[in-house]
């Protein structure tokens, strides 16, 4: 019971402090206008413009429904068109101590395009899942909506509906063009008060966002490391397969050649033309065998790898063939294999055919 009394006293002290509201939204969503309607005064510059009017964070404190409220108006952190805009520095300014009790994420109800979807994705990535328990989605431009209710419009968009669910189904509609409608402000402040109470007056802070960023960077580093290790593993497998296919293909070509060469006769000099034709046939036949072997055993061998394999095997086979045909099977075959591995071409060899 003593703990409960102290806890209640702490809550009472916190309620005497400013209720800090952080406005987050893209250009023309109505951030500054929302702050003006809350205070029923023109405390933030608000103009209808295609570029962001608010370029730095601005803060105003005033009394709303007998409660001291501080509103932090912010620039468009995601889609700012200003080249000199430093979003990280401004975000740190917005969340500097003591942070914010509630994040009012402002979305125009009249449109929900790819821009809005990207903005929601950016918000969740930048602020982290922890921020969602402090977030209340505020739909502005309700004067431009169709005949459907707000709930129907949310349910009609699966991505928006899922995001609202992640925010604990906390949302409110707000007509920034009707500042005289104080009922909408009262209802908003009641929802804010309930959220602050649920969170026991805790705040979303800069440290929370920085922790989110640290975790995200750690995940990215781990993913990059896994990707690099996977690429290295694939490269090792590729080289192993290439070596095996090259070796097996060379052995097969040489074995088939050995089986066939016994039926060959030593050619006379006048039969030189026939000899050349025989060597070319060996080269063509070897190429076809190597290509078929590559395709059947490892479809992902690169063109360069296949060429290297082809040149080595063809050089070996044709070199051996040339050596035998010209009468120098041992010397010609060895020389032909060496030069065939290097250049992969075909030249005369009895004297070393490659």
* 339 contacts 315 by C-beta, under 8 angstroms: yes
User: Distance between CA atoms of 194 and 66, rounded to whole angstroms?
Assistant: 16
Residue 93, classified by CB atoms within 10 Å of its CB into exposed (0-12), middle (13-18) or buried (19+), is middle
- Report residues of the chain scoring pLDDT below 70: 1-16, 47-54, 78-85, 110, 144-146, 262-354
* pLDDT recorded at residue 150: 85
Long-range contacts of 145-148 (CB under 8 A, 24+ apart): 145/109, 145/110
Within 10 angstroms of residue 146's Cβ, the number of other Cβ atoms is 9
* pLDDT at residue number 334: 43
| pLDDT score for 269 | 53
* Full set of structural domains in the chain with CATH: 2-211 (3.40.50.300), 236-343 (no CATH)
Nearest to 333 by CA among 344, 342, 322: 322
Predicted local confidence at residue 5, as pLDDT: 38
pLDDT at 279: 57
pTM over 0.75: no
Res 77: pLDDT: 76
Chain segment 63-120, per-residue pLDDT in tens: 999 999 999 998 887 655 555 557 778 888 888 878 999 999 999 876 778 888 999 9
Helices (H) and strands (E) in the chain, counts: 11, 6
């Amino acid at each position: 019971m003593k703990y409960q009394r102290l806890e209640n006293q702490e809550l009472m002290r916190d309620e005497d402090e400013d209720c800090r509201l952080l406005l987050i939204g893209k250009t023309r969503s109505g951030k500054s206008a929302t702050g003006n309607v809350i205070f029923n005064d023109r405390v933030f510059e608000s103009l209808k413009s295609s570029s962001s009017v608010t370029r730095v964070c601005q803060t105003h404190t005033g009394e709303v429904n007998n409660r001291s409220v501080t509103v932090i108006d912010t620039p468009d952190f995601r889609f700012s068109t200003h080249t000199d805009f430093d979003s990280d520095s401004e975000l740190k300014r917005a969340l500097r101590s003591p942070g914010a009790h509630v994040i009012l994420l402002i979305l125009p109800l009249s449109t929900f395009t790819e821009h809005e979807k990207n903005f929601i994705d950016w918000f969740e990535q930048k602020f982290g899942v922890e921020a969602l328990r402090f977030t209340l989605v505020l739909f502005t431009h309700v004067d431009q909506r169709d005949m459907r209710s707000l709930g129907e419009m949310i349910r009609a968009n699966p991505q928006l509906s899922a995001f609202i669910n992640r925010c604990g189904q906390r949302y409110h509609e707000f007509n920034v063009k009707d500042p005289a409608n104080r009922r909408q402000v009262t209802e908003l402040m009641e929802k804010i008060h309930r959220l602050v109470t649920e969170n026991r007056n805790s705040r979303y802070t800069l440290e929370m966002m920085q922790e989110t960023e640290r975790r995200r960077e750690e995940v990215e580093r781990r993913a990059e490391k896994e990707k690099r290790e996977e690429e290295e593993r694939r490269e090792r497998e590729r080289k192993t397969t290439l070596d095996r296919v090259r070796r097996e293909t060379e052995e097969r070509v040489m074995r088939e050649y050995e089986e066939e060469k016994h039926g060959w006769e030593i050619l006379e000099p006048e039969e030189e033309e026939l000899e050349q034709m025989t060597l070319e046939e060996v080269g063509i036949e070897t190429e076809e065998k190597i290509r078929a072997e590559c395709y059947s055993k490892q479809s992902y061998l690169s063109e360069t790898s296949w060429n290297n394999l082809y040149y080595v095997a063809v050089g070996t086979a044709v070199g051996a063939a040339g050596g035998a045909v010209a009468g120098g099977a041992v010397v010609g075959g060895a020389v032909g294999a060496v030069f065939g591995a290097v250049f992969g071409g075909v030249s005369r060899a009895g004297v070393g055919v490659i």
